[in-house]
Amino acid sequence: MKTILSAVILSLCISLLSAQTTIGGKSFPSSLTAEKETLVLNGGGVREKLWIDVYVAGLYLTAKSSNGADIVNADQSMAVRLHIVSGMVNSENMSEAIHEGFEKSTGGNTAPLKDKIDAFIKVFAEPIQVDDIFKIEYVPGAGIKIYKNDAYKATVEGLDFKKALFGIWLGANPVSSGLKKGMLGG
């Protein structure tokens, strides 16, 4: 009986260990749930700014894809998980980085999304610390839902906003080509 119990426990431990993927030294679950849909880890990478690792990001989709444009334009559940890795990250510079990302993603045409961008940035007004984890999930019909350390913070509606937001990482002019490549499984 002890042998069977030991084998079951060992099997469960191995399953739990294999359900994680290490990206940039941080563990990411191989899947996560957005609303009632299971999403799989598509890929991930490290966002660097001036040679400093800022955050590690993982992209979660309903099915793996390497086509950034298709992902940006898709009206289906997906999520990005950001794990803050630098003590240099604070509310002010995160806000600036988000603005910069939207400028790049929209080709400088942020005016139609101004109120939505401002609502998104408010989530980052609270102090940010190393090892904070933001989950940014898109739910069709509901919008972008933002969580900080598993606590729900806000929802920003609209497929237009979702496209601009995911364009920050996966668009034609991403904030980091290396991060884009990693998120697309490269």
- pLDDT tens-place string over residues 155-186: 999 999 999 999 999 999 998 999 999 999 87
* Per-residue pLDDT tens digits for 101-139: 999 999 999 999 999 999 999 999 999 999 999 999 999
Q: In what order do the strands lie in the sheet with 37-49?
A: 31-34, 37-49, 52-61, 78-84, 133-139, 143-148, 151-156
Q: Residue 85: which of 134, 144, 150, 151 has the closest Cα?
A: 134
Q: Which amino acid is at 52?
A: I
Domain boundaries, the chain: 31-183
pLDDT for residue 17:
40
If you classify domain 31-183 with CATH, what class do you get?
A: alpha beta
Distances (CA, A) of 120 to 94, 102, 109, 186: 11, 11, 17, 28
* Per-residue pLDDT tens digits for 16-63: 444 788 887 899 999 999 888 999 999 999 988 777 788 899 999 999
